[in-house]
Amino acid sequence: MAAAAAIAEVTLYNVYETLTKINEDGSVSPLLAESWQASPDLKTYTFKLRKGVKFHDGSSLDAHDVAVSWRRIVHPPAGVSSAREAVYEMVEKIEDPDDETVVFKLKFATLSFLPALADPWSFIYSRQVLEKDQHFYEKNIMGSGPFKLSAYET
């Protein structure tokens, strides 16, 4: 079972992109994010996103998609479950003041926050798709990563 989970994780990491990535040396660097700044108290992180990122359907990925997706992970709406909700208990609020900026406000500072954003199971979805179908992700795969699935069979 562990091998199957590892294969799924590697596969999905190439289909979906995350805000950050963990490098071979253990350092954290931007992925969907172009850059980020942390407040001196490490309780506010402001991310600037890369420009020109597209979902596999050709639609643009922006800060509003990131914020909607992360709000679902951290504070899922009624009828939606999040297996990662407890992992992100440090997150108090997620803001998207413009198309290129996402701001995470934390309840407490923690060094695990930036690496946690690289979790390949924390998918970024199109907000338009989620507005049409809150459970789209349960039977569909549409990310922004370098690889697109040509078929999906359960």
- pLDDT confidence bin for 39, thresholds 50/70/90: very high
pTM (two decimals):
0.86
How far is the C-alpha of 95 from the C-alpha of 92, rounded, in Å? 10
CA distances from 71 to 85, 93, 102 (A): 10, 8, 11
pLDDT at 40: 98
What integer is the mean pLDDT of 16-26? 89
pLDDT at 122: 83
How far is the C-alpha of 74 from the C-alpha of 19, rounded, in Å? 15
Q: Which residues pair with 106 in a beta bridge?
A: 91
Answer for the pair 14, 69: CB distance below 8 angstroms, yes or no.
no
- Is the pLDDT confidence value at 75 over 80? yes
Give helix then strand counts, H and E, for the chain: 4, 6
